[in-house]
């Protein structure tokens, strides 16, 4: 089974991979099973902190095992931490709301295709550390934050990758978002 | 494996084992008990002689391919022939696909629903299944069609009195005979306004349709001739498959056929299972989408349908340890008196449409993968109304969002596992024009124009921009149909233009391919011409709620109708709008004079069109990926110089300052770009607040007061009528138990 070398994966992550190389990857059958580990290696080298990356969940966001405490946190590549991975990371972000037609028309064109404010609001989520735009959701007012993905990390490492994590606990696959919002009342 | 020729059994038992009813029951028992399709743990035939096994399968598959490629040229409407929707398949007695042609293969997920329905309702005894009988259906309730108009043909393959399979076909016909003309009525109160809907019905025998069946098409639809052509097309392909399968069985033997077919399906099930485990990540993925249904004031007959609605399409998908994909739809809206309901078979088609091609591209395409994917569709919901009266004439319009949610689950997982080359912002906001008319000589007709159905843009990839007009989520065969031929069939409509609409895409670090726009000019409309819009996403709301990784979700589709225009005067000056936006701008600067212009970011209702009216469509864009402020400045320059973007967005969206160096020619101002990007980042800081503050304000000002428009409140009321979503909603906002929405 062919292994994709680290340089190619790095190019893929950086977005400067050639069309030919990306086409080669698309045509791989089967995909290289080592990719996940190569990916983590590439990603780990791109950040300036040394908490262990367990999973990349977005362009900028990672679930990491914090070196000092062993916590599993969501961390931006700038180094800012967005809380326990079991709570929706959006609860630790900053948000800008576009809820007028004028504001929405700044991100949709032409105006004839722009979403309308009574029906929707545009929620742009920023990392409070670097102000990268790390998420967008467009939902009606009154709608809960969408928790894009809550991984069953231990099952993933144990059953899908065959390399169990060494800090297994029974409560890792829980949703703590509501606990977070409860503290805000 | 079931032994059907066990000599120790009494003859009535042997006969029982040959029934379809028994086979379904036995398949379900063995599959449930062992986790393997029909209990197939070992591939005895494949492993004993792999070459024979592959030769056998290639014969089955090529018979389906040949059926498609030949029958489309025997008889077909332009829609049937040109669009990538038509599919032929060989299906087991129980309804599982063994081999399929290319095309809209996910339609095969509906086959078992029709077979089950026929068995449960006693068709096996009355009228019974004979070799070369012909059955047809297009009813979502009974046959799993996503919407009426998706018309299925089933031909039993019978050997020595035993049904050993079905030759099946499906295509989307040109007109379905609903009160609102076209293929997908957007206004229907109940199923009695869905058009010509039939449950599985024996419509012919010995590969010949009964005479009355043609008359049904003529009497109950507006495009009888076209629909009869498609009916013949489907049957011609099924006849080819029937003949081929009998020949293959003559060569290989019936026992080999029955066992090998099961091995084929089990083999592909295992590949799909491995793909899920190898490419995806266990956990819970949450996604939502919304679809407007604006019925308020449309009519004054059906009071119970006189309201505007916001339909909630909610999926909480999960991958378990066995590599099983589960789509929990609890929290999606309740069914209602509108055209956008669906039934479980249609939902399964929608789900598989997002997953089938992607998860099964490296195996034989069968129903095997369907066994790795299941759903929770609570009774009373929009996907399982629990009543046969629910209209579903345009169910597919909102179910595209189910497809996208399923596909996005996969593509998000692939990003996280490092297979970024596969990851893109999946989208597919299609649009279509449909209607009816009467020619000058009194000839009535109905039509559907599929031009902007099958050619959407790709959403942005995780590492590059998407391409325009190359993607049809339903099929491998992206195309616009033969648009020029449609023009001949709908005589009063002529293209003034069809091209990519600059700036019409989801933005991000990488942008989607541009969407398409077309402008139709009404010429000599005869005694009457009407048109309406059918489509998935509407411009009023983006197609999906979540953008990918900081990018913006795909914009929806829009229609603009200019009536009473002076367009012929403009032609003399060499002016002619070629996109919706151009048409709107010509009206705004008073060059194009009109009696009225309406922009429909929802479904344009059936509209009477006159000479020189213009109908413009804009659809088929995709979503962006990543932070738009991180877009390569040179890519922005390239966009500007190719006329691909709205120029102000370069600076305000991407922070890229352009120097204009010629007529529509730009260069990068590097220094000002650095400054502008810093300023936009600072603006983000100044204009945003911690989510905690937003939560407290939003809860107080909007949620507790239900301070939002009525359709939104009603959507929330509908979603929280299901226990799991009520718990989710109330717990997130920490609402008191007695809080009433």
Two structure tokens written together for B395 = 């169910």
Q: Quick one: B350 exposed, middle or buried, by C-beta within 10 A (0-12, 13-18, 19+)?
A: buried
Residue A63, min C-alpha distance to chain B (Å): 11
Instruction: For residues B391 and B189, give the distance between their C-alpha atoms in angstroms, rounded to a whole number.
Output: 6
Report, as an integer, the average pLDDT of B434-463.
91
* Inter-residue contact B708 to A142 (CB < 8 Å): yes
* ipTM > 0.90, yes or no: yes
Contact A101, A118 (CB under 8 A): no
pLDDT digits (tens, 9 = 90+) for B464-473: 999 999 988 8
Under the banding of pLDDT at 50, 70 and 90, the label for residue B82 is confident
Residue A21's nearest CA partner among B636, B251, B421, B223 is B421
Instruction: Give me the pLDDT at residue A3, please.
Output: 87
Instruction: Out of A46, A64, A81, pick the residue that ends a domain.
Output: A46
Q: Identify whether A65 is part of a domain.
A: no
**Is residue A162 a part of any domain in this protein?**
no
> How do strand A121-126 and strand A133-139 relate by DSSP bridges?
antiparallel
Q: Find residues 536-575 of chain B whose CB sits inside 8 Å of chain A.
A: 539-542, 545-547, 549-553, 555-558, 560
**Does some domain include residue A24?**
yes
pLDDT, tens digit (0-9, with 9 covering 90-100), for B358-413 = 898 889 999 999 999 999 999 999 999 999 999 999 999 999 999 999 999 999 99
CA pair distance B135, B53, nearest whole angstrom: 31
Interface contact B541-A155, CB threshold 8 A: no
What tokens appear for B526 in the block? 């005869």
Residue B626 to residues A107, A135, A152, B397, B405: CA-CA distances in angstroms?
Answer: 14, 8, 24, 27, 18
Question: Which pLDDT belongs to residue B484?
Answer: 61
- Tell me what pLDDT residue B493 has: 87
Q: Are B332 and B312 in contact (CB under 8 A)?
A: yes
Q: Name the domain count of chain A.
A: 2
Q: DSSP letters along B497-514, please?
A: EEEE-TT-S--SSB-PPP
* Residue A13 in contact with partner chain B when CB distance is under 8 A: yes
Distance between B483 CA and the closest CA of chain A, angstroms: 24
Of B503, B552, B682, the CB nearest to A136: B552
Q: Is residue A11 part of a domain?
A: yes
The rounded distance, in Å, linking the Cα atoms of B9 and B25 is 19
Whether A169 is in a domain gets the answer no
SS (H, E, C) B340-389: CCCCHHHHHHHHHHHHHHHHCCCCCCCHHHHHHEEEECCCCECCECCCCC
Structural domain including A41 reads 1-46
| Tens of pLDDT, residues B588-626 | 999 999 999 999 999 999 999 999 999 999 999 999 999
> B541: nearest CA in chain A?
A115
Search chain A and give the residue with CA nearest B693: A184
pLDDT at B83 over 80: no
What is the per-residue pLDDT across B204-233, written as a single tens digit (0 to 9) for each? 999 999 999 999 999 999 999 999 999 999
Report d(CA B125, CA B455) in Å as an integer.
45
Rounded to whole angstroms, the Cα distance separating B290 from B541 reads 7
Number of residues in chain A = 185
pLDDT value, residue B475: 79
pLDDT at B81: 83
Give, in order, the Cα–Cα distances in Å from B479 to each of B455, B469, B484, B623: 5, 8, 13, 20
Cα–Cα distance measured from residue B252 to residue B390, given in angstroms and rounded to the nearest whole number? 46
Interchain CB contact of A58 with B (< 8 Å): yes
Question: Which tens digits make up the pLDDT trace of A10-55?
Answer: 999 999 999 999 999 999 988 999 999 999 999 999 999 999 999 9
Tokens (6 digits) for B555: 């914009």
What span, in angstroms and rounded, lies between the C-alpha atoms of B244 and B228?
24
Q: How far apart are the C-alpha atoms of B14 and B694, rounded to whole Å?
A: 69
Exposure string (b/e) for A142-167, b if CB count within 10 Å is 16 or more?
bbbbbbbbbbbbbbbbbbbbeeebee
Cis peptide before A30 (omega within 30 of 0): yes
Supply the pLDDT for residue B174: 86
Instruction: Judge whether A163 lies within some domain.
Output: no
Q: What are phi and psi of A45, to 5 degrees?
A: -70, -20
| Residue A71 within a domain | no
Q: What angle do CA B85, B91, B93 make, to 5 degrees?
A: 145
Q: Cα dist. B662→B641, B644, B665 in Å?
A: 10, 17, 5
Residues of B in contact with A131 (CB under 8 A): 681-682, 684-685, 688
Name A14's Cβ contacts closer than 8 Å, sequence gap at least 6: none
Separation of alpha carbons B486 and B480, rounded Å: 11
Residue of B nearest to A141 (CA): B708
The H-or-E segment that residue B400 falls in is: helix B395-417
Question: Is A35 inside a domain boundary?
Answer: yes
pLDDT of B621-664, one tens digit each? Answer: 999 999 999 999 999 999 999 999 999 999 999 999 999 999 88
Nearest Cβ partner of A118 from B415, B581, B709? B709
How many Å lie between the alpha carbon of B408 and the closest alpha carbon of chain A?
11
> Which of B418, B464, B541 is facing A36, going by the closest CB pair?
B418
Q: Is B322 on the interface with A (CB under 8 A)?
A: no
pLDDT digits (tens, 9 = 90+) for B269-314: 999 999 999 999 999 999 999 999 999 999 999 999 999 999 999 9
Spatial distance between the Cα atoms of B464 and B421, rounded to a whole number of angstroms: 9
Taking the C-alpha atoms of residue B520 and residue B567, their distance in angstroms, rounded to an integer, is: 12
* Residues B334-340, mean pLDDT to the nearest whole number: 98
Q: How far apart are CA B243 and CA B252, in angstroms?
A: 14
The whole-chain average pLDDT of chain B stands at 94
């Amino acid at each position: 089974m062919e292994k994709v070398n680290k340089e190619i994966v790095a190019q893929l992550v950086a977005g400067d991979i050639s069309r030919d190389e990306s086409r080669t990857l698309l045509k791989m059958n089967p995909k290289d099973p080592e990719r996940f580990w190569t990916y983590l290696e590439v990603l780990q080298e791109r950040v300036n902190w040394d908490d262990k990356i367990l999973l990349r969940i977005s362009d900028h966001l990672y679930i990491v095992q914090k070196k000092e405490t062993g916590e599993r946190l969501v961390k931006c590549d700038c180094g800012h931490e967005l809380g326990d991975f079991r709570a929706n990371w959006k609860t630790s972000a900053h948000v800008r709301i576009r809820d007028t037609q004028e504001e929405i028309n700044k991100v949709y064109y032409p105006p004839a295709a722009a979403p309308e404010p009574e029906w929707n609001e545009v929620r742009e989520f920023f990392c409070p550390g670097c102000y990268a735009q790390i998420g967008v959701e467009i939902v009606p007012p009154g709608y809960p934050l969408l928790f894009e993905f809550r991984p069953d990390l231990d099952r993933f490492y144990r059953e899908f990758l065959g390399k169990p994590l060494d800090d297994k606990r029974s409560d890792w696959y829980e949703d703590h978002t509501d606990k977070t919002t409860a503290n805000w009342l | 494996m079931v032994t059907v020729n066990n000599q120790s059994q009494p003859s009535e038992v042997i006969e029982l084992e040959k029934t379809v009813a028994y086979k379904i029951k036995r398949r379900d028992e063995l599959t449930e008990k062992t986790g393997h399709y029909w209990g197939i743990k070992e591939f005895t035939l494949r492993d004993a002689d792999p070459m024979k096994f592959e030769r056998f399968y290639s014969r089955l598959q090529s018979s389906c391919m040949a059926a498609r490629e030949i029958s489309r040229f025997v008889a077909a409407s332009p829609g049937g022939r040109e669009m990538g929707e038509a599919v032929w398949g060989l299906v087991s007695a129980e309804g599982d696909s063994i081999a399929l042609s290319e095309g809209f293969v996910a339609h095969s997920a509906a086959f078992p629903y029709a077979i089950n329905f026929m068995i449960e309702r006693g068709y096996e005894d009355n009228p019974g299944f004979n070799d070369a009988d012909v059955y047809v259906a297009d009813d979502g309730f009974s046959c799993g069609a996503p919407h009426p108009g998706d018309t299925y043909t089933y031909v039993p393959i019978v050997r020595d009195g035993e049904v050993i399979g079905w030759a099946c076909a499906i295509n989307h016909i040109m007109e379905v005979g609903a009160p609102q003309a076209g293929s997908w009525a957007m206004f229907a109160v109940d199923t009695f306004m869905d058009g010509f809907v039939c449950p599985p019905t024996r419509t012919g025998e010995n590969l010949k349709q009964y005479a009355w069946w043609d008359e049904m098409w003529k009497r109950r639809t507006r495009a009888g001739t076209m629909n009869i052509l498609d009916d013949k097309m489907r049957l011609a392909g099924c006849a080819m498959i029937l003949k081929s399968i009998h020949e293959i069985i003559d060569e290989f033997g019936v026992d080999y056929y029955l066992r090998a077919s099961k091995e084929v399906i089990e083999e592909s099930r295992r590949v799909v299972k491995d793909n899920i485990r190898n490419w995806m990540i266990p956990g819970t993925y949450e996604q939502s989408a919304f679809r407007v249904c604006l019925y308020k004031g449309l009519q004054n007959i059906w009071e119970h349908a006189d309201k505007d609605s916001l339909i909630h399409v909610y999926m909480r998908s999960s991958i378990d340890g066995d590599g099983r994909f589960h789509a929990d739809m609890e929290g999606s809206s309740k069914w209602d008196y509108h055209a956008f309901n669906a039934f479980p078979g249609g939902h399964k088609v929608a789900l598989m449409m997002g997953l089938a091609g992607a998860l099964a591209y490296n195996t034989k395409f069968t129903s095997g993968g369907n066994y790795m994917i299941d759903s929770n569709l609570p009774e009373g919901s929009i996907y399982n109304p629990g009543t046969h009266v629910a209209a579903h004439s345009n169910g597919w319009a909102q179910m595209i969002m189910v497809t996208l949610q399923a596909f996005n689950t996969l593509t998000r997982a692939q990003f996280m596992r490092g297979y970024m080359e596969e990851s893109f912002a999946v989208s597919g906001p299609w649009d279509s024009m449909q209607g009816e008319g009467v020619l000058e000589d009194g000839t009535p007709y109905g039509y559907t124009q599929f031009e902007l159905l099958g050619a959407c843009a790709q959403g942005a990839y995780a590492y590059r921009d998407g391409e325009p007009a190359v993607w049809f989520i339903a099929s491998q065969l992206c195309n616009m149909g033969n648009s020029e031929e449609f023009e001949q069939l709908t005589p009063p409509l002529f293209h003034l233009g069809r091209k990519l609409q600059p700036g019409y895409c989801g933005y991000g670090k990488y942008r989607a391919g541009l969407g398409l726009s077309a402008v139709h000019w009404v010429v000599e409309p005869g005694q009457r011409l009407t048109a309406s819009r059918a489509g998935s996403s509407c411009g009023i709301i983006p197609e999906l709620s979540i953008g990918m990784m900081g990018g913006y979700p795909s914009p929806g589709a829009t229609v603009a109708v200019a009536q009473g225009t002076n367009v012929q005067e403009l032609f003399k000056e060499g002016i002619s709008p070629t996109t919706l936006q151009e048409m709107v701008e010509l009206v705004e600067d008073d060059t194009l004079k009109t009696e009225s212009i309406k922009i429909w970011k929802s479904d344009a209702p059936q509209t009477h069109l006159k000479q020189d009216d213009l109908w413009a469509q804009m659809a088929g864009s995709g979503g962006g990926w990543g932070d738009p402020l991180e877009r390569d400045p040179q890519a922005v320059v390239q966009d500007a110089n190719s006329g691909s973007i709205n120029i102000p967005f370069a600076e305000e969206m991407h922070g890229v300052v352009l120097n204009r160096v010629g007529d529509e020619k730009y260069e990068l101002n590097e220094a000002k770009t650095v400054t502008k990007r810093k300023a936009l980042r600072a603006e983000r800081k100044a204009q945003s607040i911690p989510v905690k503050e937003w939560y407290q304000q939003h809860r107080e000002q909007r949620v507790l007061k239900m301070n939002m428009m009525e359709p939104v409140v009603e959507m929330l009321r509908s979603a929280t009528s299901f226990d799991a979503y009520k718990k989710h909603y109330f717990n997130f906002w920490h609402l008191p138990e007695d809080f009433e929405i």
